[in-house]
Amino acid sequence: MAQFRVCPDSGFYFDKSAESLMKVNAIAGAVSLLIAGILAIGVILTRWQEVHLLPADLFYQALTGHGINALIFWIIFFEIAILYFASSTLLRTRLAAPKWAWLGFILMVVGAVMNNVAVAQGNSSVMMTSYAPMQAEPHFYLGLILFAVGALIGVFVFFGTLVIAKDDQTYEGSVPLVTFGAITAAIIAVFTIASGAVILVPTFLWSIGYINHIDAEMYRIIWWGLGHSSQQINVAAHVSVWYLLAGILFGARPMSEKVSRTAFLLYILFLQLACAHHILVDPGISSEWKVFNTSYAMYLAVLASMIHGLTVPGAMEVAQREKGLTKGLFEWLRKAPWGNPVFSGFFFSLVIFGFIGGITGVVMGTEQINLIIHNTIYVPAHFHATVAVGTTLAFMALTYLLIPVLFRRSLFLPWVAKMQPYVFSAGMTIMILFMLGAGTLGVSRRHWDMDFTGAALSFEYPGTAYMMMAVGGIGGVLGILGGAMYLLVTVGSLVFGKKLEPSAGLFQSFGVPLSSGSYNIQQPERLPMAPKLAVEQHGSAGFEAPGTFVLAMALLVSFVVYYFINWDYLASVWPLS
């Protein structure tokens, strides 16, 4: 029974059932992003103090829904689609156990809906972290548990697919780097979901009265075992997407397979650590453990990210130089396809993740520096640079690529798509930078009112803090506009985009397979190894990618300067011991 089709434009092969599953998972992700985006309007316009849109209860409710839909549902649905792509499509193999994959998907949808219903009913405004002993309704936790079980099934389908590819020898040599990165993400996901089960199952039992006490500190430690490592899944996933996009856009090859793969391996080895950076100022946790854990044993996972930071743009630079863009340090970058949202989205994701997300993350994860940052609005500013730009924008860029290839539609309103990464990155960057500033002035996160209306005592933040929250608010609104543009283009393409295949109708956009005649390939040809490298050398003085090296040094210098500025700031606060 023939079950594969080949995309005539890209040469990718799609297994019929994997194709449908990728579509539905990506769409469920986009719906979650839509909900998160709508709620973001309420959140940002309330934090912009002069507007102060929502009353307190709705604000906390919106913030809970925003965090969960954005960070958990959007990203994980999309990641499942990526796992199926990185296994079935990239390795030209059929998907293992499609029925199980559908079951996983359905559980995820049921879980996401259940959790959203709980939050919408209003008695579960406990934030995505749901710290005990504050309690949500039982179906809040149950929804998250079902979602996690569904995701776990998806991860196992991915592993099964790798096994099939290996047994059927659908590829020569080793798996491609992108698949290797996806494997990293999947392994971390298994750990993460295990921690999630350890904490959420008892919490659920407690919410229905089966267990009568949950230790609040224990909850924090284990919850962050889940919360932290899940961020490492995102990093592994979006770094893989970066390599994929660099490969597709430029024909880039990794500068060194060994280096890039070792860097992924470092993520696996050191990710169980680092839950500590969320509990650096908690009671009863020893400094030795904090120092070791927060630094992932001497920052070896940070080292890994710094390596990818060089090798991803480096691979692109080498490929561009091979095409003759060799003038000066940066011709390869200047002449990149800036009007293609796949490229601009990829590149902004890389730069903002590295320069803002990476640096602020390491700084605030430093044991003592955390004292001046913990729970201020600096924290959400940091993770909007990592997940809301780094991960989200990488996935957006990938979507623009997948619409023609996977959905067989051409982009709807291509000029909107072209502007989207610019609008989204500009808005988010403004929001992030100003919220970082406000956090440094002590403005707290998850806080409805910086005027403290109704408090018995009083305190006034400096005027600059208000100004920063206002400018951040404007940036946030622009960011939401950028998000809306993304959804307009994607939904528009699925509904109105020009069909690139006669049978790519409306239902097909939402997961129904194309006409059976499209799947006319029994088993694709074996995936060949990449062609051997031509020996020609570009660049100068033995440096293959000198421009990238300069960028990397700029990153390092900013990092060092900013790091020590924060120590200096710390040194100015009250002595503590």
Residues 284-303 that bind other proteins (CB under 8 A): 284-287, 291, 295, 298-300, 302-303
Contacts of 365 (CB under 8 A, 6+ apart): 274, 277, 280, 294, 295
Residue 13's beta-bridge partner residues?
A: 6
Nearest distance from residue 362's CB to Cu ion, in Å?
11
Comparison of 316 and 398: residue with beta carbon closer to ligand HEM: 398
Q: Measured at CB, which residue is nearest to Cu ion?
A: 228
Interface positions, 98-127, toward ligand HEM (CB under 6 A): 127
- Residues contacting residue 491 through CB under 8 Å, at least 6 positions apart: 30
Distance CA 502, CA 494 (A): 14
Q: Is the dihedral of CA 303, 306, 310, 312 positive or negative?
A: positive
x-or-dash pattern for Cu ion, window 202-241, by CB under 5 A? Answer: --------------------------x-------------
What is the 8-class DSSP label of residue 68? I
Cβ–Cβ under 8 Å, residues 67 and 128: yes
H or E element in which residue 4 lies: strand 4-6
202 binds, among other proteins, ligand HEM, Cu ion, none (CB under 5 to 8 A by kind): none
| Residue 228 interacts with, from other proteins, ligand HEM, Cu ion, none (CB under 5-8 Å by kind) | Cu ion
Number of residues that bind other proteins (CB under 8 A): 114
- Out of 52, 261, 446, 499, name the contact with ligand HEM by CB under 6 A: 446
Least distance to other proteins, CB of residue 178, Å: 5
DSSP conformational letter for 369: G
Q: What is the rounded CA–CA span in Å between residue 262 and residue 124?
A: 42
What is the C-alpha to C-alpha distance for residues 306 and 491, in angstroms, rounded to an integer?
A: 35
In the set 21, 26, 54, 71, which binds ligand HEM (CB under 6 A)?
71
Convert residues 471-500 into a mask of x (bound to ligand HEM by CB under 6 A) and - (unbound): -----x--xx--x-----------------
Backbone phi, psi, residue 164, to 5°: -60, -45
Residue 375 touches other proteins, criterion: CB under 8 A:
yes
Listed ranges 204-212, 408-416, 448-456, 505-513: which one lies at the site for other proteins (CB under 8 A): 448-456
Amino acid at 459: F
Nearer to other proteins, 13 or 486 (CB): 13
CB 26 within 8 A of CB 80: no
User: Taking the CB of residue 51, how many other CB atoms lie within 10 A of it?
Assistant: 14
**Could you tell which of other proteins, ligand HEM, Cu ion, none binds residue 176, using a CB distance below 5 to 8 A set by kind?**
other proteins
Q: Is the peptide bond before 414 cis (omega within 30 degrees of 0)?
A: no
- The residue (of 374 and 418) whose beta carbon lies closer to other proteins is 374
Query: Given the complex with ligand HEM, which of 80 and 387 has the nearer CB atom?
Result: 387
What type of residue is 310? L
Please say which residue, 138 or 254, places its beta carbon nearer to other proteins. Answer: 254
Tokens 């295949």 belong to 501
Quote the CA–CA distance of 511 and 20 in Å, as a whole number: 5
Asked if residue 133 has a cis previous peptide bond (ω within 30° of 0), the answer is: yes
Does position 47 interact with ligand HEM (CB under 6 A)? The reply is yes
Q: Burial, 18: exposed, middle or buried (Cβ in 10 Å; 0-12, 13-18, 19+)?
A: buried
- Does the protein bind other proteins through residue 84 (CB under 8 A)? no
Cα angle: 287, vertex 264, 290; to 5 degrees: 5
Which residues ranging from 100 to 129 are in contact with other proteins (CB under 8 A)?
Answer: 127
Candidates 143-151, 275-283, 330-338, 399-407 — which segment interacts with other proteins by CB under 8 A? 275-283
Q: Which of 15, 16, 20, 37 binds ligand HEM (CB under 6 A)?
A: 37
Q: How far is the CB of 517 from ligand HEM (least distance, A)?
A: 39
Give the interface segment with other proteins, choosing from 53-61, 112-120, 267-275, 514-522 (CB under 8 A): 53-61
Report the distance separating Cα 39 and Cα 303, nearest Å: 36
Residue ranges binding ligand HEM (CB under 6 A): 36-37, 40, 43-44, 47, 63, 66-67, 70-71, 74-75, 127-128, 380, 384, 387-388, 392, 431, 445-447, 476, 479-480, 483
